[in-house]
Chains A and B, each alone.
Chain A
Amino acid sequence: AQKITQTQPGMFVQEKEAVTLDCTYDTSDQSYGLFWYKQPSSGEMIFLIYQGSYDEQNATEGRYSLNFQKARKSANLVISASQLGDSAMYFCAMREGQDEIGSQGNLIFGKGTKLSVKP
């Protein structure tokens, strides 16, 4: 079973509007972390936002916010006031066993969502 599921292969949004990119995850760990990365066409992975499993408040970073619904195991990314430069691939990722000794530390990635911002 996939650990990270991103059900939207592609999304379109009008410039200046908000958009939500979906992410659901599957883990039996109590402690885990959720991450979102942006990958422009250049290929580099850019970290956007982090949410810990014990964080009670949704994470926010500028125009990015993470809609964390723990019971539903969902961690959707909300981008407000979209800009043309937001056009890119977006990946949701998870680190399991966040605080455990022996944690691998690697991130498990979803297949991504390609966001296109229209002028």
Chain B
Amino acid sequence: QLQLQESGPGLVKPSETLSLTCTVSGGAISRNSYSWGWIRQPPGIGLEWIGSVYYGGSTNYNPSLKSRVTISVDTSKNQFSLKLSSVTAADTAVYYCARIDTSGYYWYFDLWGRGTLVTVSS
């Protein structure tokens, strides 16, 4: 049974770079039918897609975050990662990693990690 688990610092200082890793267990990240994404949810607010990566390394980013986001994949470790630069308090959120089924015309998030809270504060 495939599982996703986020890891990384829970506290980041303003202006620094937020770095998170998602480890995929129970299955290979190198599958053609899926991409791997990051979603965030500020406290008490809704979900925001940050971006996605295919196992070959191609990426798609939310236009509103594109200038600050880098998502990469390491197939040897079965992991993918998020870097968000120049963070402010507005980037405080629960960050989720998820698998995205891209096998058809309609894409959807079929598996989610449990999420990790990242607080931006000095």
Instruction: Verify that A and B bind, or say they do not.
Output: no
Which B residues contact A (CB, under 8 angstroms)? none
Which A residues contact B (CB, under 8 angstroms)? none
